[in-house]
Amino acid sequence: MGLIRLRVRELAAEKGWTMKQVSERSGIPYSTVKNYAQAPSLTTVDYTALQKLARVFDVMIEDVVEVLEE
């Protein structure tokens, strides 16, 4: 199974937002946003959360995800 990392922290920094603001703007629970931002790698991610993050950052899903290992 591959590993990915979500670029939540970097995208939030570009907008000048905190993780709390990302949570509020996206509708994703703060604990989930914080976990996505802090996790060095993930094996699974909720696809609807990816969609919400991409929408709130105004980027494509591919821009939120960094593939670490296929």
Query: Does the pLDDT value for residue 1 go beyond 80?
Result: no
* Structural contact between residues 8 and 70, judged by C-beta atoms closer than 8 angstroms: no
Question: For the whole model, what pTM was predicted?
Answer: 0.92
List, in order, residues 6 or more apart from 46 with CB less than 8 Å away.
Answer: 32
Q: Which domain holds residue 61?
A: 3-69
Structural domain count of the chain: 1
69: exposed, middle or buried (Cβ count in 10 Å: 0-12, 13-18, 19+): exposed
Q: How far is CA 59 from CA 27, 44, 53, 68, in A?
A: 17, 20, 8, 20
CATH number of the domain at 12, please: 1.10.260.40
Average pLDDT of the segment spanning 25-47:
95
- pLDDT for residue 6: 96
If pLDDT is split at 50, 70 and 90, which confidence band does 69 have? confident
Average pLDDT of the segment spanning 60-70:
93
3-class DSSP state for residue 60?
Answer: coil
Calculate the average pLDDT of the chain: 95
